[in-house]
Amino acid sequence: MPARSNGFTLIELMIVIAILSIIASIAIPNLLASRLNANERVAISTLRSVASAQADCQAGAKIDVNLNSTGEYAYLAELSAAVDLRSGLPPVDPPLLSASFRGVLDGVVERSGYVFRMILPAVSGAGLPEADAGGVGVIHPDPFLAESFWVCYAWPADFGRTGNRVFVINQRGDLVFGRNQVTRYTGRPGAAGSSVPVIAAAFRAATTPDWIVTDLAIGSTATDGQTWELVQ
């Protein structure tokens, strides 16, 4: 009998390839799901850190434009000491948010697969998103309403790849999420293919799409048509 040559036969190679394909078909979706879940957990934790920073800023009257000894809430760049405080004071020291929030671009901060946007109220009660480079823009928040209201959104930088759900937190510490299956919020403002929440997306059906001096739509249909639920 002739000696068998070393190596795999074609059938053996095909069997190995088939086994690897089966393993990949099971492992890759699980890895993607794990990544999405991890990013969503980080987004939730980050929003809670933002709420804590806002509480410290307001309680310590770091910003007091109207000089009534009652603190006002801040934008992400102000909380992270990336810009001067709008009360005319130098950047807050020590920073109330980590340095990762200093890179405001297009009015948002992107980290861990999510896009974060802070909104404060104007004199009319309409929301004012953070300026493109961070902090206040041409129109400043109302110093009285900014003592009582703020809202911060977090949505996937790439829906289906870096996250699925969209999250919102406000001055009361209400942390809610939308399943984002219809609206599909994704990407940075102005980027090709992006879809970002309108200012009052998570609020109870409002008379205008930018009104933030009201309650979030918890367990009911919001301005954007989806139902928002409390994060447990």
Domain encompassing residue 188: 10-230
Report pLDDT digits (tens) over 135-172.
Answer: 999 999 999 999 999 999 999 999 999 999 999 999 99
Residue 12's pLDDT is what? 64
Q: Does 3 reside within a domain?
A: no
Measure the CA–CA gap between 119 and 117, rounded to whole angstroms: 7
> In whole angstroms, what is the distance from residue 53 CA to residue 57 CA?
6
Task: For residue range 183-193, list pLDDT tens digits in order.
Answer: 899 999 999 99
Report whether 128 contacts 120 (CB < 8 A).
yes
Total structural domains within the chain: 1
φ and ψ at residue 150, rounded to 5 degrees:
-165, 160
Would you say 231 and 175 are in contact if contact means Cβ atoms under 8 Å apart? Answer: yes
| Within a domain: 5 | no
Q: Is residue 131 part of a domain?
A: yes
166 within domain boundaries: yes
- 2 in a structural domain: no
Residue 186 is assigned to a structural domain of this protein: yes
In a domain, 146, yes or no: yes
Residue at 1 is within a domain:
no
- Is residue 227 within 8 A of residue 219, CB to CB? The reply is yes
pLDDT digits (tens, 9 = 90+) for 4-37: 556 667 776 777 677 767 766 666 666 676 788 8
Residues 78-135 have pLDDT tens digits of 999 999 999 888 999 999 999 999 999 999 999 999 999 999 999 989 999 999 999 9
